[in-house]
Amino acid sequence: MSSTWHILGAGSLGSLWACRLARAGKAVRLILRDPQRLAAYQAVGGLSLIEQAHSSFFAIPAEADEAHAPIHRLLVACKAYDAAPALARLAPRLAAGAELILLQNGLGSQDEVADQVPHARCIFASSTEGAFRPADWQVQFAGHGFNWLGDPLNPAPAEWFSDLEEAGIPAQWTVDILSRLWRKLALNCAINPLTVLHDCQNGGLLEHLSEVDALCAELAQLLHCCGQPQAAEGLNEEVQRVILATAANYSSMYQDVRHGRRTELHYLLGYACRAAHRHGLALVELEHLRQRLVDNLQARGLPSD
Ligand code: NAP
């Protein structure tokens, strides 16, 4: 089986993973959106990784998603709403026993992808690393963090897992990946939408702690109901710690809105509200928050689904 790391999406996280794997001597191939993006990439010839003020260049080979060679290992590094449509196009290229690593934030997109590729193993990831693109084909490593990977259907670690350590990608295999993803989703629901609605940095929520508390209480209820009691433990305290520790930061949702980009709402707060509905739970604060956010996005002319 080929050990090439195919990377779908040369955005912030995809480029960060691609550069570190290439630096460690691993075979890496980028899969770009279409021939136009491929031509733009080829004109530059590679990706630049900027760490502190230092920039390194990696001439990583790339293809558009019309290539035909089989794919054995695929890092899916698109936004949550792009993952399943992108996979639908690539599915015929996946070899028997192919493994996918899904980097998407939130929940829901992983199942959408798995439905497209029932013959592949889907490994879920939860990342606290931070990166952004100062320009096309450049990635700035903005925040050191950690990656948890796991497969809810199979506790055995992937055989390539040691590649990550060799590439300096901090990661741990976990059998509790769903608990990690739920916890991160709950933190996101308690913080990010409010930063958009109150137009503030994370620290601005210190003036709205009663709203935050009410959301945390409902989110904890939801987590229990969804069989994730561990993810509910000490949620309110952690949300407050995160608000204090990141007081000067703008949340990812705030930044998406400020830059006029589509948010991942559907896979975060939207997912939480749909899960509550499925369980017959009336979570009025959470639903009211979702409705206010939808109204806010629509007023800005941004997608609200
Ligand atoms: P991003 O910078 O917007 O990158 C997404 C990339 O996917 C873009 O380069 C886009 O291509 C590409 N793409 C979309 N559809 C495609 C297709 N059909 N074929 C090929 N490429 C396609 O997003 P990101 O910030 O890396 O985020 C990716 C995921 O990681 C999100 O779920 C995010 O929440 C999560 N995450 C991000 C961070 C972070 O710090 N950035 C941290 C933790 C988690 P174009 O360039 O052509 O538009």
Q: Is 130 in the pocket of ligand 1 (CB under 6 A)?
A: yes
Indicate the helix (H) or strand (E) that contains 278.
helix 269-278
Domain boundary among 144, 175, 206: 175
CATH code of 57's domain: 3.40.50.720
Q: How far is CA 99 from CA 88, 160, 200, in A?
A: 15, 10, 40
pLDDT tens for 98-107 read 999 999 999 9
Q: Is 78 in the pocket of ligand 1 (CB under 6 A)?
A: yes
Identify whether 160 is part of a domain. Answer: yes
**From the CA of 60, how far away is ligand 1's center (Å)?**
18
Told to judge if 184 belongs to the known catalytic residues of this protein, a careful annotator would answer yes
Q: Which of 73, 79, 183, 184 is catalytic?
A: 184
Q: Residue 305: its pLDDT value, please?
A: 84
CATH code of 261's domain: 1.10.1040.10
Domain boundary among 123, 155, 175: 175
pLDDT tens for 75-98 read 999 999 999 999 999 999 999 999
Q: How far is CA 259 from CA 252, 263, 297, in A?
A: 11, 10, 12
**Residue with CA closest to ligand 1 atom 3:** 11
Q: Do 245 and 190 share a structural domain?
A: yes
| Boundaries of domain holding 28 | 5-175
Residues of the chain with pLDDT under 50: none
Identify whether 304 is part of a domain. Answer: no
Q: Residue 1: its pLDDT value, please?
A: 67
Q: Residue 198: its pLDDT value, please?
A: 98
- Please give the tally of structural domains in the chain: 2
Stated length of the chain = 305
Angle, alpha carbons 65-71-73 (nearest 5°):
115
CA distance 101 to 124: 6
Q: Do 183 and 170 share a structural domain?
A: no
Is the pTM value of this prediction over 0.85? yes
Q: Do 142 and 81 share a structural domain?
A: yes
Q: Do 248 and 167 share a structural domain?
A: no
**Residue with CA closest to ligand 1 atom 15:** 82
Q: Do 218 and 85 share a structural domain?
A: no
